[in-house]
Structure 1
Amino acid sequence: MKKIWYTYDDIHHVIQQLAAKIEASGQQFDAMVAIGGGGFIPARILRSFLNIPIYTVTLAYYDANDKPTDSPQKIQWIEGIAANLQGKNILVVDEVDDSRVTLEYCLNELAQAGISQLGVAVLHEKLKAKKGTLPANLPYFSGITVEDWWINYPWDALDLAAHNSEAANGNHHSEINKKALRR
């Protein structure tokens, strides 16, 4: 599978553009629910632009060998807090819309907790068939649309200098960033 690398600067710039898309939509959100681990950092950066609080959940769809499991599992959930979110517009944030299974699971669980006004924001949306589905008319925002490549995020790097070197050595698709910013 083809691999691409993004730097923290890339991520910050794309999230700034993502925030502009959300604001331009006219859709108002009262809070975010970040899906961990990948959605934590994008949600935190997005908070700088949208100025709304972040709640977190952690779901695991992939095992230790990066293989998908039968269904997502709750690792951390917002039991009790969900009652405080009822009647509010909540933006669910994740780093990538890949199979869409985790997003679908999270949205369904939030809906079962009584939160019905939801939207989704992802840093990357992969161009591929999705296993999961999203509700019709759900506000959906993505920063960059990419092919079905393996995305290497800087927060997953053990050696940030090596990670940034990969991005600088042509394993970074800046043309995709330019296309995303023209949208």
Structure 2
Amino acid sequence: MKKIWYNYEDIHRAIKQLAEKIQASEHSFDAMIAIGGGGFIPARILRSFLNIPVYTVTLSYYDVNDQPTDLPQKIQWTDGFDKKLKEKKLLIIDEVDDSRATLEFCVRELQHEGFNQLGVAVLHEKRKTKKGVLPADMPFYSAIQVDDWWINYPWDALDIDEHYQNVVSQSLPEN
């Protein structure tokens, strides 16, 4: 599988564009729910532009070998903010819409618990057939569409210098 590397600066710029898309839409949101671990950093940057609070849930769809599991697993859920946010408009944030299985699971579980005003925003949306499905009327925003490549984020790097060398040495097609 082809790999792609992003630096923090490009991610920050993309999230600014994502914020502008959200602000220009007909939808407004009261808070964000970041899906951990990939949604944490995009949500924190997006918070600077949208000026709404960030809450977190943690789901795991991949095993220790980066292979998808049958279903996402809840690691941390809505305890602590469930009553406070039930009637609020919530924007679910993740770093990548790959198979859409995690997003579908998160939306379905939140709706099952009475969170009914939801939207989704992702940093990267992969151009591919999705396993998961979101409600057709649900607001959905993505900053960047990419082919089905393995995305290397700087926050996942064990050696940030090597990561940035890969960023500089790659040649990217236009989006």
Query: Gaps (5+ residues) in structure 2?
Result: none
d(CA) in 2 for partners of 1:102, 1:150: 17
Deviation string 1:36-62 (CA, Å, 9 cap, x unpaired) is 000000000000000000000110010
5 Å-filtered alignment, 1:27-176, equals 27-171=27-171, 173=172, 175-176=174-175
* Matched residue, 1:180: none
Give the TM-score normalised by structure 1: 0.93
Q: Kindly, what percent of the aligned residue pairs are identical? A: 65
* Matched residue, 1:11: 11
Q: What stretches of structure 1 move > 2 A for 4+ residues in a row?
A: 173-176
TM-superposed deviation, 1:170:
1.9
Structure 2 counterpart of 1:169, which letter?
S
Structure 1 counterpart of 2:42, which letter?
P
Contact 1:83/1:113, CA 8 A, preserved across alignment? no
Structure 2 counterpart of 1:46, which letter?
L
Equivalent residue of 1:130, what SS?
coil
Equivalent residue of 2:174, what SS?
helix
Query: Gaps (5+ residues) in structure 1?
Result: 177-183
How many residues are aligned here? 175
Contact 1:83/1:114, CA 8 A, preserved across alignment? no
